[in-house]
Structure 1
Amino acid sequence: MHGFQEITPDQLKALREEGEAFTLIDVRSPAEVARGIIDGAQHLPLHLLPMSIQKLDKQSPIVFYCLSGGRSAQAAAFAAAQGFSQVLNLRGGISAWASRGFPIAPPANP
């Protein structure tokens, strides 16, 4: 057990449609984010997570994603180790999200 759970793109889409409150964090590099994000995501590059984790709400569910799910799994494991209880990793990352035909938005702050 890594202290976090996996979520599929379909499950994430359902959470959004149900209006569930959660934080969506993109841990990719700025160059990757410039190509588009999942709408509503906050950009927090993986290497900055240790310095910024205390700004996140430990009581709110957090979904991490990257390009394919590897770096976001590291982020999720780190958050779980810091005491976050509701941590999710988007299985397959934004690649899986896009392959399902779900929308990619331009970044808020390119």
Structure 2
Amino acid sequence: MSNIEEISPQEVQKKIEQEDGTVLIDVRENEEVEQGMAPTAKHIPLGEIPNHVDDLPKDQEYVLICRSGRRSMNAAEFMNEKGFSNVKNMQGGMLNWDGELVF
């Protein structure tokens, strides 16, 4: 069982609206993000996460997003193992997202 907290898409929407500094990372592949991403999300495909973790500040809050929540959970667990203490997974991924999309 993972120790990564899950956050609902509705809670993620509130964080975007409140501009609270949370960094959203979409780990889907290029062709998936072409169908739209959550506003403010950064696109870092899952396979590239290991190449980018050293560039990300460890003291920020991160929410990881994918299509269904499985790949983003793997990315969140990886980041947690690398010393990121405030990492969450968006529950159900973009399949459960009903907010605005950016392209």
For 1:24, the aligned partner's letter is L
For 2:102 and 2:15, the matched residues in 1 are separated by 18
SS of the residue aligned with 2:96?
Answer: helix
Structure 2 contact 38–102 (Cα < 8 Å) conserved: yes
Structure 2 contact 60–86 (Cα < 8 Å) conserved: yes
Superposition TM-score, scaled by structure 2 size: 0.94
Counterpart of 1:103 (choices 92, 100, 103) is: 100
Q: Which residue number in structure 2 is paired with residue 38 of structure 1?
A: 38
**Identical positions, percent:** 36
Structure 1 runs of 4+ with >6 Å offset: none
- Deviations along 1:60-94, whole A, 9 cap, x unmatched? 00000000100000000000000001001000111
User: Displacement of 1:3 after TM fit?
Assistant: 3.8
SS of the residue aligned with 1:105?
Answer: coil
Superposition TM-score, scaled by structure 1 size: 0.88
For 1:93 and 1:41, the matched residues in 2 are separated by 13
For 2:57, the aligned partner's letter is D
Aligned residue-pair number = 103
User: Displacement of 1:15 after TM fit?
Assistant: 1.6
User: Displacement of 1:34 after TM fit?
Assistant: 1.0
Structure 2 contact 16–40 (Cα < 8 Å) conserved: no
Moved more, 56-65 or 10-19: 10-19
| Alpha-carbon RMSD | 1.1
Structure 1 contact 3–80 (Cα < 8 Å) conserved: no
Gaps of 5+ in 2: none
Q: Which residue number in structure 2 is paired with residue 80 of structure 1?
A: 80
